[in-house]
Amino acid sequence: MYEEFYGLSNKPFQLSPDPKFFYSSEHHKKAISYLKYGLSQQEGFIVITGPIGTGKTTIARSLLSQVDGDNIVAAQLVTTVLNPTELLEMIILSFGLKSNAKSKTALLHDFEKYLISLHQQGKRAVLLVDEAQNLPAESVEELRMLSNFQLGNRPLFQSFLLGQDELRTIIQAPGMEQFRQRIIASCHLKALTAEETRHYIQHRLNQAGWRGDSLISFTAFSIIHSKTQGVPRLINLFMDRLMLFGFIEEIKFFNMEAINAVIAEMTDELTLATTFESAQGTAQSMVQPALQKHSVITDQTHLERLLLESIHKISLLDQKIDNLLNKT
């Protein structure tokens, strides 16, 4: 809607991952280096963890775009609340294979034949497992068993696990020692700094075709970082709303007044939101077992609501601090 008004070729702050808009902060550069190192080793596991919205999926897509056309056949697995057999079936589908196998043994045989055929072509298979924290422990173990496929001394299959903080807890469980021994590198992503937030926004605007002068005042950048805590997905959510606001109000430069107007607008929309932060621990303990028991895919609308709640909570905290300071 606002692209033409700002002379953009497409939306710069969409929530869906797009390698074109990948911004490499210091932490993201480190993660990419680990991924590339893992590819060069051709064995073991690389584990990339980080809070929701910090760019794990974007890194995976960026890597896929870089290796496309090389001697690596890469596939990405997103649905991960799967038992070992379902996981194997999903992996086979992710690599574009069709199998009429009726048993797990037959599925393994078909997949091994595929891996050997790739090896004979001078290629190898790499699997990127997104949202890996949802994998049951027995399915993580299944991935470890698949890593045993080799021809001579050459491994035929390699996996990269990308997940939220819970993934580290799963890996540290007592029964996961054999899996831990296969991890050759790991990295934990963090939110962007204030300076990186400014570079991130400018990078995405430039990638979308922005050719004008600075769109946002320097002080406004610091407020955006404060309200989003430097989480890329929250930044995208806020900036998309800001530019929509600018289009409606015909604003070509965002100062503090415009930023505060959007903050107030987003806060007003969520006046009935519950105190997510205080209930987070209880909700996590109740929801996680359900996720393990039932195959649930997170709905993007629900995810956006949680992200908006986060911005809302930050704004409320700022208001409380201001009130306390005014009283003193």
Q: Write the pLDDT tens digit of every residue in 66-82.
A: 765 568 888 888 877 88
Express as a percent the part of the chain with pLDDT over 90. 23
Average pLDDT over residues 180-208: 90
Of the pLDDT bands very low, low, confident and very high (cuts 50, 70, 90), residue 302 is very low
pLDDT reading at 307 higher than 70: no
The 10s digit of each residue's pLDDT in 113-138 is 999 999 999 888 999 898 899 988 88
How many CB atoms sit inside 10 A of residue 278's CB? 10
**pLDDT beyond 80 at 233:** yes
Q: What is the mean pLDDT of the chain?
A: 79
Cα 81–chain centre separation = 16
Alpha carbon 279 to its chain centroid, in Å, reads: 24
The residues that bridge with 18 in the sheet, in sequence order, are none
Contact 205, 215 (CB under 8 A): yes
Sorting pLDDT into bands at 50, 70 and 90, what band is 327? low
Residue identified by tokens 């005042």 is 217
Q: Give the residue-averaged pLDDT of 76-100.
A: 88
DSSP-assigned beta bridge partners for residue 124: 72
- Give the residue, 193 or 71, on which the prediction is more confident: 193
Looking at residue 67, its pLDDT comes to 65
Instruction: Output the CA torsion 173→174→178→184 (10° steps).
Output: 40
Under the banding of pLDDT at 50, 70 and 90, the label for residue 41 is confident
pLDDT surpasses 60 at 192: yes
From 42-51, 95-104, 175-184, 288-297, the region with the lowest mean pLDDT: 288-297
Beta pairing class for 45-49 and 157-163? parallel
Tokens of 4: 């033409």
3-class state of residue 158 by DSSP: strand
Please determine, for residue 263, whether its predicted confidence score (pLDDT) is greater than 60. Answer: yes
State how far the Cα of 152 lies from the Cα of 54, in Å rounded to an integer: 39
Please state, in angstroms and rounded to a whole number, the distance separating the CA atoms of residues 153 and 119.
12
In the chain, pLDDT over 70 holds for what percent of residues? 80
Residue closest to 159 by CA, chosen among 178, 184, 136: 184
**3-state class of 328 per DSSP?**
coil
Give helix then strand counts, H and E, for the chain.
13, 7
Tell me the one-letter amino acid at 3.
E
Band of pLDDT at residue 200, cut at 50, 70 and 90? very high
Question: How far apart are the C-alpha atoms of 170 and 158, rounded to whole Å?
Answer: 19
Which pLDDT score, from 0 to 100, does residue 195 have?
A: 93
**Degrees (nearest 5) of the Cα angle 83, 88, 89?**
100
- Give the domain ranges of the chain: 26-188, 192-328
CATH number of the domain located at residue range(s) 26-188 in this protein: 3.40.50.300
Residues 6+ apart with CB under 8 A from 259: 220, 223, 224, 242
Give me 255's structure tokens: 């100062």
